Each structure stands twice: as C-alpha cells, then as structure tokens.
Amino acid sequence: AQSVSQHNHHVILSEAASLELGCNYSYGGTVNLFWYVQYPGQHLQLLLKYFSGDPLVKGIKGFEAEFIKSKFSFNLRKPSVQWSDTAEYFCAVSHSGSARQLTFGSGTQLTVLP
Amino acid sequence: NAGVTQTPKFQVLKTGQSMTLQCAQDMNHNSMYWYRQDPGMGLRLIYYSASEGTTDKGEVPNGYNVSRLNKREFSLRLESAAPSQTSVYFCASMSPGLGLEGQFFGPGTRLTVL
C-alpha cells in the first residue's frame, strides 16, 4: 500500500521568510501528486498538482513544488510567505493503478507571524 | 455552481445514536468520496463511489455505511455512533477521466460523539 509522509508537523515562520514543506511517498510506479491547503475553518482546496512533464509545478498564490522521482519527493515551496498563508497543508498521492483514490499525508500546520 | 455541499455542519450525538451525513455535488462528477480528518492523521478514506450504483470500502470503513442515491448525492450513515467516531467528515467529488483537477471538497461536518 502506498503511504505519504510529511515530516514537518508544525512550521512557524515570520512574514517574508522562505518556505519549504517536505513530502515523501512510497510507491514504485507512476504517481500523480497533489498539494492541498486548508485555511482555518475552511475546506480543502487544491494548491497545485503534478501528473507528468516538467517536474517543477507552479500553483496558485505563488506556491510551487518540485517532483524528484529518485527521492520519491514532492516538496512545496514559496519564496516569501505572507500572514495569509497560515493554514494546514496536505500532500496527497494517487497512483496509476488507482488514479481515482488519494492517499493523504498527515498534514503540516504553517503559522506565519506578522 | 454550489460545488460540494454537506449537511449538517455540526452535530453532537450520544453513544449509540445513529445519523446520516448528506453530501451533494452539482458538477456532474462520477466519483464521490467520504473522508474523516483527525488531528495529526490527515484525511483517511472511509468509502468511495466510483460511479452511480457502486460503492467501495476505503481505509477506515468500520462503523459506517454509505449510499450513492444518484449521481449527485452520496450519504454516510453511522448506525451506532461511538466516541471514536468524533471527527470532521469531508465529502469530495472528482471529475470523469483522470481527474486532472483533483478532488473537490465540501465544507465538512464536525461530529462529536459523547
């Protein structure tokens, strides 16, 4: 069974700091990769996704993620965070054999201090 | 488009009571999902329905039943609620094909079982 690891449970940054959230997955085949964001009191929203092609993916609100196949990683980055980025971030994976099911990581709570 | 809607938003039950969580989507999606979200555990799939008339178990199906009433609606039933089912429940749907847009989530139902 595939699994997704997000090693940072809680990250605290000051505004304008750079962000990198780690995501590693365990599955040897072709994968589809997602990052979702959940703002306080809201539902999950898709931040960005990778299916194929350029491993550097750009999403909404200045976020990007890089797929490194050899490291089974899909880390989320943002050069300069804002207070409004305070949220919980979830990495998710689906694989080609079950493309319609997602496996989620445990989430990373990001707190950005003004 | 309302997207994915869920009712109720909040519910408090006593141990042993039953209830049904309702979910509807107006995006003409084939696949629908029920997740539970617990602190530090991310989202775990309870049941899903790949298409109208089909349902399958996910990672944590015990204590739950589902009904795919029609293409729009997918309900989750707790027959005899237990405190371990205290959680936030999210419904999601996904478009046909490869689901290139990922899954769309509802606003969630916060359930407390006393």
CA distance B91 to A98: 19
Q: Which residues of A touch B35 (CB under 8 A)?
A: 104
Percent of chain A with pLDDT over 70: 96
Select the residue from B41, B43, B49, B105 to test the A interface by mutation, using most A Cβ atoms within 10 A.
Answer: B43
Tokens 């200045």: give the residue.
Answer: A62
- pLDDT of A97 higher than 60: no
Residue B65: count of CB within 10 angstroms of its CB: 14
Q: Which residues of B touch A25 (CB under 8 A)?
A: none
User: Across chain A, what does the average pLDDT equal?
Assistant: 91
- What residue type is B35 in one-letter code? Y
What is the DSSP secondary structure assignment for residue B15, as one 8-state letter?
T
Would you call the peptide bond into B83 cis, given omega within 30 degrees of 0 as the criterion? no
- Region A79-83: mean pLDDT is 97
- Region B68-82: mean pLDDT is 95
More confident: A100 or B61:
B61
User: Across chain B, what does the average pLDDT equal?
Assistant: 92
- pLDDT of B110 higher than 80: yes
CA distance B60 to A32: 22
* pLDDT tens-place string over residues A13-40: 999 999 999 999 998 778 889 999 999 9
* pLDDT tens-place string over residues B21-58: 999 999 998 899 999 999 888 899 999 998 888 999 99
In chain A, at which residue ranges do the beta strands (DSSP E only) sit?
3-5, 10-14, 19-21, 24-26, 31-38, 45-50, 56-58, 64-68, 73-78, 87-95, 103-104, 108-113
